[in-house]
Structure 1
Amino acid sequence: MVGRPDRPSPVLQANITSVNLNPTWTVPTSIVKADIIPHMRKDPGFLAKSHMRLLGAENREIDPATVNWASLTAPYFTVRQDPGPDNSLGQMKIDMPNTEAVYLHDTPKKSLFRNDVRFNSSGCARVEGVRELGAWLLEGTEWTPAAIEAEIAKGERKNIPLKKSVPVAWVYLTGWQGADGMVQFREDIYGLDTPQGIVTSTIQPRKPKSKVIGAGEPRPAPRLPAKTAAN
């Protein structure tokens, strides 16, 4: 599940460096402006219901009641969501440091995976089989699937660095050929299949080789256009 059309997931290459169990979520400033502030104007209890806290300098907690949400445009605090099954990142985050500040993660809204169209996030990628992915990344270590589940059950944040980073690439395709030879096409949801979004190839097609006619081989007579032949 990837970013909405107005919050697209980026095309990038990165390296997975760790698996986070029961992660906290530090809400990006853009989402605080677009989502959190409007929610707080409508429902002053939104942060408490979402298990979110406001943190100021030196991570000192700020009482949401002291904030003038009606006139606030630029947040002067950090919004952080506590670990738990209701956390927006779910119970597992796959960390892959990059300049776009996106990553792979779980989600509490697993019903969305039943949808055929899965453009619901704010840029990160929600992974349906994230536990299987995490177990694969930690394969060969003490972190067996059972150990991972036991640690998640504790409800406390746990960061597990990988012994060796794993490369990952996010690509955007609207057409491809499957293993069965069938060509698949999808809607250009991000509008990148445009003259501005297409990189023109510098590779020119090869010109067909002209047939060499031997000295003893008769040269074929030129074919006249149909209109000329009828005259």
Structure 2
Amino acid sequence: MGEPGREEYKIQSFDVETQQLLKTALKDPGAVDLEKVANVIVDHSLQDCVFSKEAGRMCYAIIQAESKQTGQSGFRRGLLNRLQQEYQAREQLRARSLQGWVCYVTFICNIFDYLRVNNMPMMALVNPVYDCLFRLAQPDSLSKEEEVDCLVLQLHRVGEQLEKMNGQRMDELFVLIRDGFLLPSGLSSLAQLLLLEIIEFRAAGWKTTPAAHKYYYSEVSD
């Protein structure tokens, strides 16, 4: 994980100048403005949901390259500062662009999944990630399939890690999810199916049983 060569395929969606900036950051991070690099990656993640799902690996690779070259963590500091800015303005972002909001949640969960300090998830991201997932579990969000899909996908990805970091908040989140599943109206049949699947997924120890996989995925494909 994190080898620069594996990241270059993700860079093709940028303009030529930005491609060169990112390639340099991966190979010679001391030669570029890493705060600018962090801003470029966050900006693109908010616009491109495909990129937001994979950007964490690129960030991890840049952090590893910088640490090896200089022993510093300027890129990580710039990245976390920008994530904090977007986190503080998350309601405005959601009101302005539902897609941008979903991309942001996907990106911050991806960063939480990849970035480690002493081989442990970053404590500084635990509550912001939880807060984003709690927002996705509110009734007005559960009425939108894009947000339900995002909630379920991110819980599949980082739910088990988050629960280990703060089990009480995960219990509270699933109270909201169960309440949302029982809403008398406002949920599509797909949203109901996704919420039921994630409830059972967590109940099974964050694993999908063969029977559950057959049931849910045949239902989705139908």
* Same-fold status (TM-score > 0.5): no
TM-score, normalised to structure 1's length?
0.26
Counting helix residues as a fraction of each chain, which structure ranks higher?
2
Counting strand residues as a fraction of each chain, which structure ranks higher?
1
- Greater RCO, CA 8 A, separation 6+: 1
TM-score, normalised to structure 2's length?
0.27
